[in-house]
């Protein structure tokens, strides 16, 4: 196993001094309460209780504290292999680090340099830990952060996290990894590679990729291809796909149920019920075209309410 070095910032400590920087963080104060752990465990979001998390984090910190601190950076470093051994000894999946990082991350509006900063720092460290241990969710989150903070495709492609993302896609066929790669190339206007990864994402079961490919098919006039892509996306739970399918059917490009365009109406209704504002607008237009002004007005009101809370 290749050793990945992860840096623990001194800012976790309550004092900037060298001695306190190496003290054990107050996990009893930093970690969420037992009730949060219990709820997260019940939902499957976490696979540990508070006591287990505290024990593992304490051992990780002790390993860090015993590591030689370099005079240049005054940072502690440890290997992913060492942390992996600690996790294995406690039957502690690396995904727990990712889940804890998300639980500890405060809303953007409440982030300050106060004591909450300690929690934020620990959140970042836990995410780095999970990434170094190749947890898929951590890789995706870290990769997205790297991609959104860089405008250079060359720098992105040469970064370690991109290599992890590529490996995650290739070896585990993770749809979200393909999606992120496709999105990156699309934003960089490298359309050939973007299309390749959208196709792979769709094959891996990505409803979002099917939706994108359906929209692309519409743009080049391939309506039947678009319909199939939208139907697949809808089956995979993409609400926008129901809207696109209904709108396409109403446009006359596809044969639908006679007289009242019932299939199109159904698809638009599903989309509207799922929160797609454009679907509510389209339904208002549909009923108006039938001279059903009462229903048209109702859908117009629904659309207005949806726009107000967007």
pLDDT at 159: 95
Q: Kindly give the parts of the chain with pLDDT less than 50.
A: 1-21, 68-77, 111, 113-117, 253-256, 259-260
Torsional class of 4: left (φ above 0), alpha (ψ -120 to 50), beta (otherwise): beta
Q: What is the CA radius of gyration of the chain?
A: 25
Torsional class of 147: left (φ above 0), alpha (ψ -120 to 50), beta (otherwise): alpha
Place of tokens 């727990």: 96
> Measured between alpha carbons, how far is 97 from 112 in angstroms, rounded to an integer?
23
Domains identified in the chain and CATH numbers:
1-133 (no CATH), 206-308 (1.25.40.10)
Q: Token pair for residue 261?
A: 């365009």
Q: What is the pTM of this model?
A: 0.78
pLDDT at 237: 95
pLDDT digits (tens, 9 = 90+) for 67-118: 543 333 333 345 788 899 999 999 999 999 999 999 987 765 554 544 444 6
């Amino acid at each position: 196993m290749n050793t990945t070095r992860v840096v623990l910032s001194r800012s976790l400590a309550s004092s900037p001094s060298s001695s306190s920087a190496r003290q054990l963080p107050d996990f009893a104060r930093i970690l969420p309460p037992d009730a949060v752990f219990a709820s997260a465990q019940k939902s499957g979001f976490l696979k540990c209780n508070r006591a287990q998390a505290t024990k593992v984090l304490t051992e990780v910190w002790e390993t860090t504290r015993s590591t030689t601190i370099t005079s240049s950076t005054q940072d502690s470093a440890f290997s992913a292999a060492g942390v992996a051994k600690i996790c294995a000894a406690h039957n502690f999946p690396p995904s727990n680090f990712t889940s804890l990082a998300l639980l500890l991350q405060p809303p953007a509006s409440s982030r300050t340099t106060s004591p909450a900063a300690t929690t934020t720092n620990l959140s970042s460290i836990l995410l780095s830990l999970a990434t170094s241990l190749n947890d898929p969710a951590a890789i995706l989150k870290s990769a997205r952060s790297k991609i959104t903070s860089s405008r250079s495709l060359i720098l992105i492609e040469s970064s370690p996290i991109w290599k992890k993302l590529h490996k995650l896609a290739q070896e585990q066929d993770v749809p979200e990894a393909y999606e992120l790669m496709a999105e990156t190339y699309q934003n960089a206007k490298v359309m050939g590679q973007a299309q390749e990864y959208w196709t792979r994402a769709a094959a891996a079961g990505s409803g979002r990729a099917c939706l994108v490919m359906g929209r692309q098919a519409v743009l080049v006039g391939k309506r039947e291809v678009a319909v199939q892509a939208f139907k697949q996306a809808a089956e995979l739970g993409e609400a926008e796909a129901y809207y696109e399918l209904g709108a396409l059917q109403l446009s006359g490009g596809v044969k639908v149920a006679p007289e009242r365009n019932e299939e199109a109406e159904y698809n638009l209704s599903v989309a509207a019920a799922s929160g797609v504002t454009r679907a509510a607008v389209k339904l208002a237009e549909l009923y108006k075209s039938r001279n059903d002004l009462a229903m048209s007005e109702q859908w117009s009101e629904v659309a207005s309410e949806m726009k107000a809370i967007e």
